[in-house]
Amino acid sequence: MTDQDEPAMPAASSGEPETPEIFLKTLAATLKNIEGIDKDLVEILATDILVGTPAKDASARAQAAIAKLARTRAMPAKGEQADADG
């Protein structure tokens, strides 16, 4: 992907410097709007990691949420299990 293909990050609306919290919120919002990106994963990152002052256990919470998401996705849907047993 070239620089031209990447979505532009909007600059801070005022002439004041962008704070880390505003940057992270803007980053999360931008990621959510990119076509083909994993929206569930972005939501986890936006909730636990991409925040101005993350909780002390933010990485552990994000890791647990990602593991739960992976387990959910790894389980076949109820109808697919019956089809596989055929």
CA distances from 43 to 3, 13, 31, 84 (A): 25, 24, 9, 32
Q: Is 18 within 8 Å of 1 (Cβ atoms)?
A: no
Cα 39 from Cα 19, distance rounded (Å): 24
Mean pLDDT of the chain: 84
Averaged pLDDT, 67-84: 81
Note the pLDDT tens digit of each residue in 19-28: 999 999 999 9
Tell which wins on pLDDT, 8 or 34: 34
Q: What residues contact 28, with CB distance under 8 A and at least 6 apart?
A: 42, 45, 46, 50
**pTM for this structure?**
0.68
The predicted structure's pLDDT at residue 80: 66
